[in-house]
């Protein structure tokens, strides 16, 4: 199987490689862009170019996470890995983000191959209405609030008849509760979110606006940012079916030049994925902008697949850094001189 699969298997390879392609195995293998061995690309000049780590490297480096600015990806070679046919998933629940992060660190050490995937969320436990000012008007005098819990799903792959040692696996973690253990075929595991997408359709979530905001935070500031952001978030703002993802990873697994993330041993991805009814969209977008700016203030780098409001060359340069930005401007002149690819999304001047 491919070393990294995205959560949603309905996305296209070309589109996902234009962002990065994160999955529950990224803590070990990096993003999909780190696991590509060759691409066929049609540039803005109409040339069909094969590129790889050995050949036409300039284009290879610009197209991966290149937000479709330099070429259209028309063929992809990805690295595969051997996978076992069955997957055991342990459902763990944490009441403390710091404890979850400490346990994840233990499973993300280089050379430790016991755990095959880590998947986590911030999950609101609704607490009712608290006072925030005078009177009982919602949002003025009173506000709903949640106590946030953190589910962590951990998997181990195995062959039929060689089941994992549960006590040994669970002994590596210190959750508030171990709520469930389930066995899947490898194929079922890859499709694990299919029932969620069905629920999205049934609940009306699919029909709503999805201004998703994802960011990759330094490990050192992640807990403070996440707890601060959650403390400001009334649980109903996520909408029915909306959720908040956590993406713990080692930082050194991803080296694609345009996929920007903080340095350090570990990083934490955080994605707020609301479904917003049209009448609340303006308010939600303002709040998401504030969360985006706050995450950048905490040293985070936005994951560029969702709602992005970088609206000036300065903001894009700040995201990519001066050196990479200069490379991108040069590549744009070379591979798309007429600016016909994804025009208007990035401001170069
Ligand atoms: C439900 C859901 C779950 C997701 N889960 C994940 C996840 O787990 N991990 C993750 O990393 N991302 C995830 N994403 C984000 C996804 O990877 C991006 O939205 C991606 O851009 C989707 O590409 P697409 O081609 O399928 O979509 P489209 O809407 O068809 O394309 C999006 C953009 O990608 C570019 N593009 C598409 N095809 C090509 C091509 N061949 N060459 C160059 N550029 C191209 C274009 O700029 C296009 O506007 C998820 C998205 C959704 C909706």
pLDDT tens digits, 19-46: 999 999 999 999 999 999 999 999 999 9
Match domain 13-81+317-335 to its CATH number in 3.30.465.10, 3.20.20.80, 1.20.58.220, 3.40.1190.10: 3.30.465.10
User: 3-state SS of the chain?
Assistant: CECCCCCCCCCCHHHHHCCCCCCCCHHHHCCHHHHEEEEEEEECCCCEEEECCCCCHHHHHHHCCCCCCCEEEEEEEECECCCCCEEEEEEEEECCHHHHHHHHHHHCCCCCCCCCEEEEEEEEEEEEEEECCCCCCECCCEEEEEEEEEEEEEEEEECCCCCCCHHHHHCCCCCCEEEEEEEEEHHHHHCCCHHHHHHHHHHCCCCCECCCEEEEEEHHHHHHHHHHHHHCCCHHHHCCCCEEEEEEEECCCCCCCCCCCCCCCEEEEEEEECCECHHHHHHHHHHHHHHHHHHHHCCCEEECCCCCCCCCHHHHHHHHCHHHHHHHHHHHHHHCCCCCCCCCCCCCC
Nearest CA to ligand 1 atom 21: 15
pLDDT number for residue 241:
85
Reply yes or no on whether the pLDDT at 216 is more than 90: yes
Domain parsing of the chain, residue ranges = 13-81+317-335, 86-303
Residue owning the nearest CA to atom 45 of ligand 1: 15
Q: Rounded to the nearest whole angstrom, what is the distance from the C-alpha of residue 301 to the centroid of ligand 1?
A: 18
| 68: confidence class by pLDDT, cuts 50, 70, 90 | very high
pTM: 0.96
Among the atoms of ligand 1, which is closest to the Cα of residue 13? Answer: 25
- Mean per-residue pLDDT for 144-172? 97
Position 139 scores a pLDDT of 87
Is ligand 1 within 6 A of the CB of residue 62? no
Superfamily of domain 86-303: FAD-linked oxidases, C-terminal domain (3.40.462.10)
Q: What is the mean pLDDT of residues 312-317?
A: 97
Confidence (pLDDT) at 239:
86
Percentage of the residues of the chain whose pLDDT score is greater than 90? 97
Q: Is 22 in the pocket of ligand 1 (CB under 6 A)?
A: yes
pLDDT at 64 over 90: yes
pLDDT band with cut points at 50, 70 and 90 for residue 205: very high
**Model confidence at 256, in pLDDT bands (50, 70, 90)?**
very high
pLDDT of amino acid 124: 96
């Amino acid at each position: 199987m491919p070393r990294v699969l995205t959560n949603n298997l309905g996305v296209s390879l070309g589109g996902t490689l234009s962002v990065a392609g994160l999955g529950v195995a990224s803590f070990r293998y990096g993003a999909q862009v780190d696991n590509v061995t060759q691409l066929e690309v049609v540039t803005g000049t109409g040339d069909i170019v094969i590129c790889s780590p050995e050949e036409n490297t300039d284009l290879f480096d610009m197209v991966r996470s290149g937000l479709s600015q330099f070429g259209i990806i028309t063929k992809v070679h990805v690295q595969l890995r051997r996978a076992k046919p069955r997957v055991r998933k342990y459902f763990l629940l944490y009441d403390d983000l710091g404890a979850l992060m400490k346990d994840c660190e233990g499973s993300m050490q280089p050379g430790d191959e016991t755990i095959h995937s880590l998947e986590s969320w911030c999950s609101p436990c609704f607490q009712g209405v608290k006072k925030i000012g005078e009177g009982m008007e919602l949002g003025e005098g009173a506000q709903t609030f949640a106590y946030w819990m953190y589910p962590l799903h951990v998997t181990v792959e195995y062959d039929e008849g060689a089941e994992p040692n549960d006590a040994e696996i669970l002994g590596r973690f210190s959750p508030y509760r171990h709520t469930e253990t389930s066995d899947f075929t490898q194929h079922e595991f890859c499709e694990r979110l299919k029932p969620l997408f069905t629920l999205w359709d049934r609940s009306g979530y699919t029909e709503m606006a999805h201004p998703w905001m994802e960011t990759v935070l330094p490990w050192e500031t992640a807990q403070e940012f996440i707890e601060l952001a959650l403390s400001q978030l009334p649980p109903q703002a996520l909408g029915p079916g909306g959720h908040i993802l956590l993406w713990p990873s080692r930082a050194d697994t991803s080296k694609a030049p345009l996929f920007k993330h903080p340095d350090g041993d570990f990083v934490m991805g955080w994605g707020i994925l609301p479904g917003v009814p049209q009448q609340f969209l303006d308010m939600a977008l303002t709040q998401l902008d504030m969360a985006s700016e706050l995450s950048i203030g905490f040293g985070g780098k936005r994951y560029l697949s969702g709602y992005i409001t970088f609206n000036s060359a300065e903001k894009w340069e700040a995201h990519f850094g001066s050196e990479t930005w200069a490379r991108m401007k040069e590549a744009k002149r070379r591979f798309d001189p007429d600016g016909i690819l994804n025009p208007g999304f990035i401001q170069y001047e």
